[in-house]
Chain A
């Protein structure tokens, strides 16, 4: 019976090639627009460490001044970073399973074998748990050991830096000059570029290549070298800052902190620990704003920091509106086309086909249109994404995000099938209601 329906549907579609092409093209265009916008949106709104979503927490305290809030456009949010004082205190807590503080510095690597020109490297200064906490994969070696107070001058290179300086060889144990100081290579990472860069959304979660981390050093080298961050730093208050010690003691926020808190109990304990610290500091005259200590999980962190641009949201909605128009169009065409075939349906009904048979027959026709439209839409979507990449250079955020991902494809295909079938249900059903007698009489 199904093969008979297939043959009927094929015949019917062949009878009106123009209409068939129109329907298939309309669906394909709608699907393609959705694929392009969904892919970019999906990549932007993705959570690159979803498996640890409810374990990793961004740690923030509202240390801002009593006047205007940190971000006047989002006055309910505390500042996204901590002061040196608060970060270095909180990171000493034993409650989290792992915890890190970090900032971004500029660095220069020198003294690799055969290296003639110094290499500028964006440097992440952090504490030892960084790699285990974010599941960073190593090609050779591993992270450094020791708490931040006694961390040795040890450095972790990304694969790209290791390729450039050591030709991709295992460089663990080799020595290199970082900002004029001798460091020992303890690890080389595999390719690891989570997008969006969830742990550093304050600057640019889709950082241009020149802002991507290239080497990692223990946090204490920030103060040892009296270095200043190149990542976001915001200060308030009018107190003058005359030297580095005063800078460290100031209310400038420039350090991000993350804690791994696997259980609700540990979260509560850490929260209580923060609150106690807040109360003690408030007594000493700090924290003029109301208590607002927060632990924010990864998904929430990406959301409150507005990682997904409003442009990509608008585009996604426009694409869906377009798909809706295409589908309404298809419903209209199917309806008129089916009603045109009513005399034949009348005949088939008179010969004993039930309404269910008629419905099924037309649904098969709808399904064929939907599959053809979906496949063509997939191809068009791939072309569209290639177009997006072609318009932009390689280093463009949009181009980086506009990659055909299998999940996006699955989504789009499901969308095509579901929406077109839903669109075809009504015409297929309404044609089954045709009373056979009337059509038999008229011819």
Chain B
């Protein structure tokens, strides 16, 4: 006799242990919502960790130097420091800037393609640079030209100056002139003094305020007008850590009118940036895996319970002609109904949580692909969890039906 897979007896079986089924469905819903959104966040964090710095991070270090009073001749100190650094065997290039790429040390401003304080502004990081800066960082000029030595303003006591010629990154150029060519165009920082873009560089991560971006403005200025400067030093591969130590020790005592206040490799800053993202990714992945595991155990437990309380009924089914695979099918379909109803609630929940995350934490809107994949993955894992108890049910011999009263 062919037994048709009839949904009615499955539904009535389900209604016998309604609370159990509802609880598992609820678990599945929460698991799906957490899993999908966690995966979405983790995907973005991995993207951030893998985002290239756009510069030679591995072989570069930075040392911050500050004046102690207005009597300090910071310009002379700077030339002296750079001459020393360039003389070290193993140093490829050295320059002084006002900010350190990839680190929290730096300055920001806002730019606009239009003059005046009311123009819509694009926030950016900036750094004071000279003709050697791009070379030291390993950043390419993709359009226009680099600064020449004569472009660079000498260090003065003036804090703010106007710069007729500046360099910006590709990313910033794209934001200021969407679809257009920024080269040769004037840009403004809230006033009427134009700065002409003479060069566009490949993208790199400048100093970081909240989260890393590729927007940077380079000003032709010998740094030090704010009382400090950073020596950026590129070394031959593998010598960075040792040379940093040597240089820090020397600079700390070579001139007592100024102070060395920080020294790190760019790798250190990159790792600090990545650490938070990595933590988040690890924690979210762990908890999601645990939620999945606990949910599977729940499904396993519910199916096992159903199988063990229905031994006699299964025996009867088998006795009247149900094959083993019909019994397996019965339990899997029963589980599938729970999975689907939980999954549907979970979809709504996942979208709701995703919306809330976008709203509260400015996360990008949840990609529906993640939801689809999560749903399929959960369905497969959920059916696998019910597989073993269902097999056990199929092993119940037909004779059980006749054994008990």
Contact = CB atoms under 8 A, between A and B. Distances in A.
Interface of A: 19, 22, 26, 29, 33, 37, 65-68, 72, 106-108, 110, 117-118, 120, 122, 179-180, 204, 210, 225-228, 230, 233, 235-236, 238-244, 246-247, 310-311, 313-315, 318-319, 321-322, 324-326, 328-329, 331-333, 335-336, 340, 388, 391-392, 396, 398, 430
B357 interface: yes
Contacts of A336: 17, 20, 301-302, 305
Interface of B: 17, 19-20, 23-24, 26-27, 30-31, 33-34, 38, 41, 66, 68-71, 104, 110, 117-118, 121, 123, 157-161, 189-193, 226-228, 252-253, 256-257, 259-262, 275-276, 279-280, 282-284, 287, 290-291, 294-295, 297-298, 301-302, 305, 309, 357, 360-361
Given A29-B294, A325-B27, A225 B69 contact: yes
A179 B68 contact: yes
Contacts of A66: 117
Contacts of A329: 23, 27, 294-295, 297-298, 301
10 contacts: A66-B117, A67-B117, A228-B226, A242-B157, A314-B357, A321-B30, A322-B287, A322-B291, A325-B295, A333-B298
A253 to B, nearest CB: 14
Contact of A332 (B123, B290, B302): B302
Contacts of A331: 23
B249 to A, nearest CB: 9
B261 A179 contact: no
Given A242-B158, A318-B287, A118 B252 contact: yes
A107 B110 contact: no
Given A33-B290, A328-B23, A120 B252 contact: yes
Contacts of B160: 235, 238-241
The 9 closest A-B pairs by CB, nearest first: A238-B191, A226-B70, A67-B117, A228-B227, A241-B159, A225-B69, A179-B68, A336-B305, A332-B23
A117 B252 contact: yes
B34 A326 contact: no
Residue of A235, A329, A340 most packed against chain B (CB within 10 A): A329
A398 B259 contact: no
B284 A236 contact: no
A358 to B, nearest CB: 18
Given A242-B158, A314-B361, A318-B34, A180 B68 contact: yes
Nearest to A118: B256
B252 A247 contact: no
Contacts of A65: 117, 190
Contact of B275 (A29, A68, A230, A396): A396
A354 B69 CA distance: 86
Given A67-B117, A210-B261, A333 B301 contact: yes
Contacts of B361: 310, 313-314
Contacts of A313: 361
A271 B108 CA distance: 32
B154 to A, nearest CB: 15
Contact of A238 (B193, B252, B290): B193
A335 B161 contact: no
Given A118-B252, A240-B159, 15 more contacts: A68-B121, A68-B190, A106-B228, A226-B70, A228-B228, A242-B157, A244-B157, A311-B276, A314-B41, A318-B38, A321-B30, A328-B23, A329-B297, A392-B275, A430-B19
A332 B191 contact: no
Nearest to B108: A234
A210 B360 CA distance: 32
B360 A310 contact: yes
